Structure 1
């Protein structure tokens, strides 16, 4: 009495199985939906990464050569100063008195020399007396020049235009020779020193462009160029020192900053596609080309030769030309020779996510 029930159950199972099989066959016959992108010709380079340290184009710690008391300070912390500007004046009262005394002596000897010359013109004085008076005048003038040179040591001037640091002295303080008084840095151009392995020595040269970044400004890139390459290779590290220059007119960079350096070596024009469009298989790489005609969109597999990779992009050496359309989304279901439904073309203005949301 249970046989009819079993027959009905068995019939229902067969019906469900057939329905699922037909549904899967119908789904398999539907063309896959893909998103394409065009291969572009762009400037490409092999990045060489390094770490470097910044320093000012010109930097000096100002100090004095005499022992004296500070009489005047003419700058504030962090102030921009001009070349030749007086920064610190030391007490020079004694030297000024010596200068006035020497100037008075010079005037006296000049008058004596003039009188001797006038007497000699009248044959009332010997020629030797005139020469002696002129010699004493030149000696007085030389003494004045020596004192004026000494007075220059009592005035500390900016040797170049730049920004001063913190001042660690006050008026009335006693300073001694070699004592650090204030720092001065020229910050409109920065020097960046870093080292690269010697194997890359043949790939870099003065004038080569580079990009730098710092944790201080994580969203900004600072551009520069190589200025000098060291003349020696370190026998221990097998590296060579390189110096680059960076524009710093906005003054954001500071000496001592750690910078991440990316040197753009072997700059060239290259065909580039997104890395997501590449299908690796062992040591071979392929792309799925989208061939469009008036009545169909068909996929075609093509083997390509790739070069360098960077930031989600890959360089195509052979097998693809600029402007050709390749699959960048939907590769899992794409097959060679299969018709496809193109949802759109992703580019700088249209993202893959926007195309997928528009297809919902």
Structure 2
């Protein structure tokens, strides 16, 4: 066969291969996304104020001079730790005198008992001596009680506030000396409209956010629900509890609360994959077993949140849909899959890897 005939035959046989390659190159490039099964709930938002788990303002109950302060601003203290010592020299002297008198009257009781046992004294003398002993013991207890009011101790573990007094200062009953807050657990109080009262229950999970810590999400749960509905605002008070091991949350902080009501398992897709048509919603489903053929598939959606949507009908976990390039494909098209967007690979990262491609 002549060389020209061989060339003609080779070109003829190569045409189907070139056509297939050209068809592959002409496929629209898209990025896929899989439907996932996630824990889902309907968010209910509110604003709340933080409170310490336990909080107290320690004050004096006597008029006296401060003799010692045993704490610093913002210090963590333990239950029973001595914080403020007031001058108790007068009470200490009274205690020593009462203790000496108690020793004397104990001896008197002992002597009266010995005399009675020898029939040299009466039973009445023994009873009188015992009564006088009990009297002085009661006086000692009263003095010790007064002494305890001169020692101000922490009633629980916590963090003290600013120290606004100094040694030598004169304090009076009711004068505020220092605040103490238990912060390893904090409470969050917020209001919820009464229409949601039926779904509220202790143990319901929620999350909270503060502008002071924009990158932090604090997880907690409903601890208790108010016994009354406010007749003016038609809302009920709810109290949540949050663990605060690092003590970064402080009483008085404003928190944005998201209450997770009606928790359930749901099929979830990114909101960007939806193709709305009137009141109906569609996705562009990718058939991986049929060379990535596209089918326009109707779904039924539920609630939406932060770029995601709940799918009630039409998709199963693991189904692959078009996540980027939705408007460029049609029912029946075959597409070129650049990648699948997920928690480890974002659409931007996939596009940067294929920069220059028709994506």
Render the CA deviation track for 1:282-323: whole Å, top value 9, x for unaligned: 2211111111335x3321111111011111111000111111
Name the CA distance, whole Å, in 2 between partners of 1:154 and 1:345. 71
Structure 1 residue 359 displacement after superposition: 5.4
Contact kept in structure 2, 1:343 and 1:359, CA below 8 Å = no
- Once structures 1 and 2 are overlaid, which stretch shifts more, 335-344 or 269-278? 335-344
Q: Secondary structure at the match of 1:170?
A: coil
Correspondence 1:313 to 2:308: yes
Render the CA deviation track for 1:223-280: whole Å, top value 9, x for unaligned: 1111111111111111111111111111111111111111111111111111011011
Correspondence 1:329 to 2:324: yes
User: What is aligned with 2:220?
Assistant: 224
Give RMSD over aligned pairs.
1.7
User: What is aligned with 1:266?
Assistant: 262
Correspondence 1:80 to 2:70: no
- Once structures 1 and 2 are overlaid, which stretch shifts more, 343-352 or 231-240? 343-352
Structure 1 residue 354 displacement after superposition: 3.0
Instruction: Specify whether residues 129 and 195 from structure 1 end up closer, same or farther in structure 2 by C-alpha distance, changes over 3 A only.
Output: same
Name the CA distance, whole Å, in 1 between partners of 2:115 and 2:168. 53
User: What is aligned with 1:340?
Assistant: 335
Name the CA distance, whole Å, in 1 between partners of 2:115 and 2:312. 98
Structure 1 residue 65 displacement after superposition: 0.8
User: What is aligned with 1:130?
Assistant: 126
User: What is aligned with 1:121?
Assistant: 117
Name which of 125, 139, 146 aligns with 1:150: 146
**Counterparts of residues 46-195 of structure 1 (less than 5 Å):** 46-195=42-191
Q: Give the total of aligned pairs.
A: 333
Name the CA distance, whole Å, in 2 between partners of 1:129 and 1:187. 59
TM-score of the two chains, using structure 1 as the length reference: 0.89
Render the CA deviation track for 1:24-61: whole Å, top value 9, x for unaligned: xx99x954332221111111111111111111111100
User: What is aligned with 1:14?
Assistant: none
Name the CA distance, whole Å, in 2 between partners of 1:137 and 1:214. 63
TM-score of the two chains, using structure 2 as the length reference: 0.89
Structure 1 residue 100 displacement after superposition: 1.4
Instruction: Specify whether residues 343 and 359 from structure 1 end up closer, same or farther in structure 2 by C-alpha distance, changes over 3 A only.
Output: farther
Name the CA distance, whole Å, in 1 between partners of 2:95 and 2:147. 9
Structure 1 residue 104 displacement after superposition: 1.6
Q: Which runs of 4+ in 1 moved over 4 A?
A: none
Contact kept in structure 2, 1:211 and 1:223, CA below 8 Å = yes
Long gaps (5+) in structure 1: 1-25
Correspondence 1:350 to 2:309: no
Structure 1 residue 333 displacement after superposition: 2.3
